[in-house]
Structure formats: C-alpha cells, structure tokens
Amino acid sequence: MVGDPRGFLKHNRETSQYRPVCERIKDYDLVFKLRPLERSKEQGQRCMDCGVPFCHFGCPLGNVIPDWNEFLYLGYPNKALESLESTNPLPEITGRICPAPCEYACVLGINDNPVTIRENELAIVEDAFNRGMIAPKKPKVRTGKKVAVVGSGPAGLSAAAWLNRFGHNVTVYEKADKIGGIMRYGIPDFKLEKNILDRRIKIWEEEGIVFKTGIEIGKDLPIDKLKEGYDAICLAGGSRVPRDLKIEGRDLEGILFAMDFLSQHSTLAKGKKVVVIGGGDTGSDCVGTANRQGAASVVQIELMPKPPECRTPGCEWPKYPLLLKTTSSHEEGCERNWSISTKGFKGSLLHSSNFGGQARDQGIKSLMCMKVDEKLKEIPGTEFEIEADLVLLAMGFLHHEKIEGLQVEHDPRGNIKTNENYETSIPGIFSAGDMRRGQSLVVWALFEGREAARSIDSFLIK
C-alpha cells in the first residue's frame, strides 16, 4: 500500500526545470536545476497502488521503485535511500543520465503522464549526500580473496562495489589516467558533472577498493601475471571500437570519431560547419558540445527513418518504445535529417602560414548524400551535398578492444562469450557489461556488474 493511493489525482507530472538555452549554451554546467525536495515528495505521491508494479519490468536493475517513492513521500529519507542502494550502486548517475525505461512501463502512463521515477531517484540520493548520510561503509569481515576488475566504466565499478560489499579485496585496473570509463570520457559535463563521479570514487576508496590507473592489461601488465596475483578476474571494459564509414574521402582531415571529439578539451568546432552522422545519444552529445564550442552551424543526419512521436502497434505498453527523442542538446540548435545515406566526402586544400602559405593537407568540405526509403534503399535522383568543416562519426560501436594474450572465446559479434554465470571459457575469469553483451545502456552495465559479482562471489566461496 502506497502512502496515498489517490496521489496521482492530486498532482500532475512535474519535471526539473531546464536552464534557459541562452544561458546554458555558454557553459558546461548541468543543463537542469535539481528539483526542490518538497516537489519531489509530491511527485513520489503520484506513485499508484497499482497492484503489479510494471516499473520493475522496465528497470534492468529491478529497483524497488514503489517502496522508495512511498518512503520519499512519507518523509522517511533514510529508508528511501536504503531501498535505493539495495539494488543500485550509482543512483546519482542513473538519476542523471538513464533513459528511464521504468517510466515507459509505469502503469500510470497508460492513460496519464508517468511518475517521474528517475528524478525521484536523484532527489533521494542527492538529499542523502547533502545530509551526510552517504559515507564509507567498510565490510565487517574480509574473506581474504582477491579480485581484479579490468575496466572502470559502469559495469566495472558496479562489480567492484558489490564484490567489496561481499568482503573481497578488489583492485580496479583502468588504462586511462582517471577512473570512470565512458561516464568520464564519453558523457559531457553538462549531462554528468565529473565531481559527481569523484565523490563516489573517494567513498569507495575509503571502503577499501584499490584503483590503479594508466595500466593497460595485456600491454603494461600481461594477463598471465594478472591471473597469478588474483583469485578471480572480471573483464568489464567498454565497447570502444567505433563503427566506421569507409567511403570515398574518409581520410580527409576534419573527420573524427565521436568519442575522440568528446574526450578532447580543445575547441575544434569553433566557427565551423559541423555535421554529426548518427542519431543516438552520442550524436546528441556531439551536438551539445559543438554548440558550446561555438560552431557556426550543426546538422545531424541519420540513416534510419524518423521515429514516431507516439507508440505504434507492436510496441504497446509496457514495452520500451523507440520514439523520437529530442534532447536538451537538440533544443540548443541543430538541424536534424533522417533517411540520409552518406556516399562520400569531398575535400579542399588547406593552407597554413606555418607552411609558407603552401597547400598543407586536404580538409573536409562537404558530404555527398542520398535519400533512402524505409527499407534503406537509395532513392535515385535524390543526391545532394551538405557543407561541412568538421564531421563527427557517431554511429555506435562494434565490440570491445582486444586484450593482448587473452585467449577466451568470443561470440560472432566479437563480444566475450560467457556461460549463464558470466564465466568465460577460462575458469576464474568472468566478464560483464559492454565487453560481454555489446554496446548498451549504463543501467544494463550496472546490472551486469552486479550479477557478475554475485557469480564471482559464489565461485570464490564454494
């Protein structure tokens, strides 16, 4: 029984307020303002006594959403936090960047606007941080078992957090100079401030997790040496090999992979005509970043047809629908086009005073494109060009980067093959997240890390 089974009749859905475009486009601060706690309590009151909470169906983590919505509304913040942390080690992350499949499965969403589940989650965890309720909790007993986690993205950090809770000694290896994986290097600050990551990492360090950066397993530390020093290994690297567009002119200067663009700190897009190829979240992040860098214009093109704006037959509630998604980055300025195939790139000679005014290289000038139909078949006579000084390839990822010396089985897609217990073909070596299932959502990575940790725990204590 929820706190007020008629609460949804008393309050309309109210989301967080976004900062004005003219203001937020000038900085990398969070694009929205955290909703006041009292407003979040009202939104928690909208959670129905629906009998069967289908939000559980929508959430990969299996968050006990009705429980913490009730605790939030009734004024039991510590119980709300306890319920939230029982399934999710990073609610402050999912509360900011999760696409909230739970909300699409909300029963209230059948004939009304669903509960603001993600923002209620964020309100609970941020209130807890503000009150000092989230502090290091060291395991009372250590098992003496040592586990190495390779990769510090959401899957790796989730696995490490749960393994540490179980009492094992955990060391996380990361080849980059800082911990966080895609959350640090692939998601812009205006969606996820990096001090949020640092805050949680500091807590985990005090709980006993050891983080080692700048070490690439297979090169800096051979996999055999790693196996010698640990009782189990969890491979949780990201899906980092990008899908390329191998067409005429691909080698022109000014054509970058999206992740390379997002992870650099210079203003490559300033004053340039930017074209983003790919309509997903990474493409959207490129749009927002390019606008903040002062791009002259931003165009985003997508091969697939324009998604519908409402549910279609075959994608009824409570399934997660593939709908048209307009992000805060799109609202900041972007021309969007669908059903576009890129056939080639045209270049022009670049000149530089540093080279005595001589032609130095060839840079991107335009894209040669064609329209395609719903079956992605090119439509004759629809050729056209799009001017561009910078092209960003955001077409998804193929698979993880290979680890030298690692002789585990892979599936046909290039992902590490495991059994139902997340164990690879080598006993004692497990895998989770994008490395195992391919490119996916952060919430799925957190789930995978948790389930792999449970399997590793069972392996270690048997």
The type of residue at 303 is: L
> How much is the pTM?
0.94
State the pLDDT at residue 462: 80
**What three-state secondary structure class fits 221?**
strand
- Which of 190, 150, 154, 144 shows the shortest CA–CA distance to 174? 150
- Taking 50 as the pLDDT cut, the residues of the chain under it are 1, 353-356
Residue 153 has φ and ψ, to the nearest 5°, of: -80, -165
* DSSP string across 28-97: -S-SEEPPPHHHHHHHHHT----SS-THHHH-TT---HHHHHHHHHHT-HHHHHHHHHTT-S-HHHHHHH
Q: What share of the chain is helix, strand, coil (3-state, %, to 5)?
A: 35, 20, 45
| Residue 412, preceding peptide bond in cis (omega within 30° of 0) | no
Q: How far apart are CA 401 and CA 393, in angstroms?
A: 18
pLDDT at res. 211: 98
What pLDDT, on the 0 to 100 scale, is given for residue 353?
A: 45
Contacts of 119 (CB under 8 A, 6+ apart): 15, 16, 35, 40, 43, 95
What is the helix (H) or strand (E) element at residue 18, kind and residue range?
strand 17-18
What pLDDT was estimated at residue 360?
52
Write down the residue that tokens 């060391």 correspond to.
171
DSSP codes, 384-419: EEEE-SEEEE---EEEPPPPTT----B-TTSPBP--
| Residue 314: per-residue pLDDT | 85
